[in-house]
Amino acid sequence: MLNRVLIAEDLYLLRDGLVHLLQAHGFNVVGAVETGPELLKALVELRPDVSVVDVRLPPTFTDEGLQAALAARAKVPGLPILVLSQHVEQLYARELLADGSGAIGYLLKDRVFNADQFVDAVRRVAGGGTAMDPEVIAKLLASNARHEPVAGLTPREREVLEVMAEGRSNAAIAQRLFLSESAVAKHTASIFAKLDLAQSDDDNRRVLAVLAYLNSR
Amino acid sequence: MRFRWALAVLAKAIIEAVAAVVALVCLALVFCLGMVFLFPPMVRTVRRLTGWTRRLARVHAGMEIATPYLPEPPPPVQLADGWYRSSRTLYRTPRIPAWNDRWKWMIGDPATWRDLLWLVWDPFVTVVLAPALLVAPRIGLRAYAYWCRLLLAPTAAMRLAGQVDHLHRVRSLAMDTQAAEMRRIERDLHDGTQARLVALGMTLGAVEELVDRNPEAAKALLAKARDTSSDTLTELRRLVRGIHPPILAERGLGDAVRALAMDSPLKVDVEVELPQRPQAPVEAAVYFAVSELLANAARHGNAEHVGIDISHNEDDLRVTVVDDGVGGADPSRGSGLVGIERRLSAFDGVLAVSSPPGGPTTATMSVPTVLSGPWPWAKLPKMPRWKLAVVIVAWTTAWLPMFPQGIVPGIMKIFGNEDKVWFLALHLPEPWQWPTIIAMTVLGTGLYTLGFALPAAYSETSRSSC
């Protein structure tokens, strides 16, 4: 069971809330840190199964959390980290995805409101998958909307692509869009053909391929 | 080539000699016989001559001589009853008030009188410089330009007046822009966030009512409250982005513009070359300007590809945005471009737009001296107390050995004056007198040197305090 979790958040209320939320869902909180340097040290020393990290941390309140996450993943490739932020940027998503090793998440802080979905995202990241905020995906698709071949997708295929890029499995996509799993499989095959990407059964590989494709634009 | 221009200067001198005589006659007629109508044409003619000279100095001697004249008065404003007013008199047509304004503008401008002074002297100076102009035109032209700058360039006072005027205008523009921003933020907070929070509070109140009687309905309302809070956050995020984008605070101008480029539906190439971050307000102004230009390119310009280049040359921050759209952007019509100009003008920045019909559109922004390097003396350490004391002692005592005990008795001895007064050296036996005088002078010089040299290595603040 992958349940050793580290939390990095400078606001006491939110940090405390996250600790309680994750403990209530069966996680074992091995640490809760406040600053960037502490975070980097804890990430490398504790090697938690998953970490929930705020982008903006003391001492400079810029992007310490993100930098610490990137530095830790450079030292420990594939270290699962879920980054939380008050705002989402394609630039940050691109930096997080750049190493292509998965086990990464990037969500708006608002998503914590929906406990089930948030815990699901944490579990996905812990399991080596991805969890991208729908807003990031929407931005990625919007900025590619006018370019071939994204422009050549049918509306239904775009919907499937959006949910898939968040890091969902075929089953989850089917449930969300009220489709049968075989229909989803058909759509994904068509999407991969149109985007000229290698087909893969592995959910994570598949998502990374899509994100890499969108990011490379 | 230069030789030909040297000859032109000589030819000009002849014209000027004639012009000077005519101008003096005109002045006499204006002030002795009251033929005031001669004054404006005379001043205009003189200004044309000085204009030629300035251009000549710039092009052929490489010397920039700025124009010192006060700005021309605005045309008279028609009053509500259709009359025009000049001081206490009303006129039916704008001609006389306009003429009065022009007269006051010309006669009150010190540059007019400096021009006349220059005109009278210039033929003589040219004659003196004639050998140099003919033999070594390069040096001659240079010397001539120096002479012209003496009288034709604005004086420090004129320049200061111009600067004050400029700052005044820029300040009021900046205040207007800021006030408009504040109003926009207030409106957004009032209509959006505040209203949503009120709705949230009301929903929660309803939940309180329902929670015992109808738990199901209460649950539904709670879900609604959660949605409202999420919407409020989204809206606040948009608002924050409009005030100061978080990525700008976190990463600086370069990455913030890259993020803008990624969010744009256009293909945008960004090149950034900045050694350090500009000051935060400048970063924000440039960021919003780039954002506006990108939006314009997508909305009106029908562009597909945009290139953004951010660089610095010397102390200027320079941003160029080029798109391949249809062109035809006009800063005087597009309010967006005017907004950018206003924002930049607060930092003495300028926007230049070249947008021929059919494209491409190139917008270049330049903001001077924004790279926040430390002032050279800010790096210097503060002067320690004891050194400050030494400097004060040196400055207060140096005069004593230098003058009354050194130089003055020396002079008196040279001239054979026998008054000993309080000059120490003259009271000593003869063989000691000269060595004492020299030693006193050296001591005084040493103290003055100390007074100058010690503070030079320390920062301005402590230097001004001593």
**Tens digit of pLDDT for each residue in B135-172?**
888 888 888 888 888 888 888 788 888 888 888 888 88
At position B434, the amino acid (one-letter code) is W
Contact criterion met (CB < 8 Å) for B263 and A62:
no
The 10s digit of each residue's pLDDT in B332-360 is: 766 688 888 888 888 888 888 888 888 78
B264 touches chain A (CB under 8 A): yes
Q: pLDDT at position B372, please?
A: 44
- DSSP per-residue codes, A82-141: EEEESS--HHHHHHHHTT----EEEEEGGGGGSHHHHHHHHHHHHTT-EEE-HHHHHHHH
C-beta atoms of A90 and B250 within 8 A: no
- Most B CBs within 10 A among A85, A95, A110, A114, hence the mutation to make, goes to A110
Could you tell me which of B371, B104, B145, B354 has the C-alpha nearest to residue B253? B371
Give the 3-state secondary structure of residue B52: helix
Residue B110 in this model has a pLDDT that exceeds 60: yes
| Confidence grade of residue B462 (pLDDT, cut at 50, 70, 90) | very low
Does the beta carbon of B241 lie under 8 angstroms from any beta carbon of chain A?
yes
**Which residues are B366's β-sheet partners?**
B318, B350
Residues of chain A in contact with residue B258, where contact means CB-CB under 8 angstroms, are 91
Dihedral sign computed on CA atoms, order A166, A169, A170, A175: negative
Closest by CA position to B119, among listed B207, B34, B47, B40: B47
3-class state of residue A52 by DSSP: strand
- For the segment A77-119, what is each residue's pLDDT rounded down to a tens digit? 889 999 999 888 888 988 888 887 888 999 998 888 888 899 9
Contacts of A114 in chain B (CB under 8 A): 226
- Is the pLDDT confidence value at B459 over 60? no
Q: What is the mean pLDDT of residues A127-141?
A: 87
In the predicted model, what is the mean pLDDT of residues B386-404?
85
**What is the per-residue burial (b if ≥16 Cβ within 10 Å, else e) of B46-64?**
bbebbeebbebbeebbebe
Measured between CB atoms, does B233 come within 8 Å of chain A?
yes
> Which of B237, B240, B251 lies nearest to residue A63, judging by beta carbons?
B251
Q: State the pLDDT at residue B415.
A: 83
Q: Please give the torsion angle defined by the CA atoms of residues B136, B140, B143 and B144, in that order, rounded to the nearest 10 degrees.
A: -170
In whole angstroms, what is the distance from residue B354 CA to residue B311 CA? 19
- Which string of DSSP letters, residue by residue, matches B274-329? -SSPBPHHHHHHHHHHHHHHHHHHHHTS--SEEEEEEEEETTEEEEEEEE-S----
Q: Of the ranges B66-80, B305-319, B330-344, which one carries the lowest mean pLDDT score? A: B330-344
Closest-CA distance of chain B to residue A166, Å: 18
Cross-chain residue pair A87–B263, CB shorter than 8 Å: no
Lowest mean pLDDT among B20-34, B299-313, B448-462: B448-462
Cβ-Cβ contacts under 8 Å for B281 (sequence gap 6 or more):
B346, B347
Chain B residues whose beta carbon lies within 8 Å of the beta carbon of residue A90: 259, 262-263
Taking only the tens place, the pLDDT of each residue in B410-419 is 888 888 777 7
CA distance B230 to chain A (A): 6
Q: Which residues of A touch B255 (CB under 8 A)?
A: 91
Interface residues of chain A, partner chain B, Cβ below 8 Å: 55-56, 62-63, 86-87, 89-91, 94, 109-110, 113-114, 139, 142-143, 145-147
Which residues of A fall within a CB distance of 8 Å from B235?
Answer: none
**CB of B231 less than 8 A from some CB of A:** no
How distant is the Cα of B1 from the closest Cα of chain A, in angstroms? 56
Q: Do B241 and A62 touch (CB under 8 A)?
A: no
Bigger pLDDT: B261 vs B466: B261
Kind of pairing between the strands at A50-54 and A28-33: unpaired
| Inter-chain touch A91–B262, beta carbons under 8 Å | yes
Give how far B268 is from chain A: nearest CA, Å.
10
- Within 8 A of A109 by CB-CB distance, chain B residues are 233
What is the amino acid identity at position A164? Answer: M
B380 compared with B28, residue with greater pLDDT: B28
Model confidence over A27-56: pLDDT tens digits? 999 999 999 999 999 999 999 999 999 999
CA dihedral B444, B449, B451, B453 (to 10 degrees): -170
How many degrees, rounded to 5, is the angle at CA B414 between CA B409 and CA B419?
A: 50
Whether residues A63 and B237 touch (CB distance < 8 A) is answered with no
Among A90, A110, A142, beta carbon nearest to B230: A110
Answer yes or no: do A56 and B234 touch at CB < 8 A: no
Would you say the C-alpha torsion B14, B16, B22, B28 has a positive or negative sign?
negative
- A58: closest chain B residue by CA: B250
pLDDT in tens, B250-284: 888 999 999 988 888 888 899 999 888 888 888 89
Contact across the interface for A91 and B226, Cβ inside 8 Å: no
Residues with Cβ < 8 Å from A153, sequence gap 6 or more?
A161, A191, A194
Task: Determine which of A111, A143, A146 to mutate to test the interface with B (most B C-beta atoms within 10 Å).
Answer: A143
Q: Do B250 and A63 touch (CB under 8 A)?
A: yes
pLDDT higher than 60, residue A193: yes
- The residues that bridge with B143 in the sheet, in sequence order, are none
Q: Is B254 on the interface with A (CB under 8 A)?
A: no
> How many whole angstroms separate alpha carbon B357 and alpha carbon B360?
8
In chain A, the percentage of residues whose pLDDT exceeds 70 is 91
B263 contacts A142? CB cut-off 8 A: yes
What percent of chain B shows pLDDT beyond 90?
Answer: 17
State the nearest Cα–Cα gap between A168 and chain B, in angstroms.
22
pLDDT, residue B299, reads 81
Residue B70 clears pLDDT 50, i.e. is over it = yes
Residue B251 near chain A (CB below 8 Å): yes
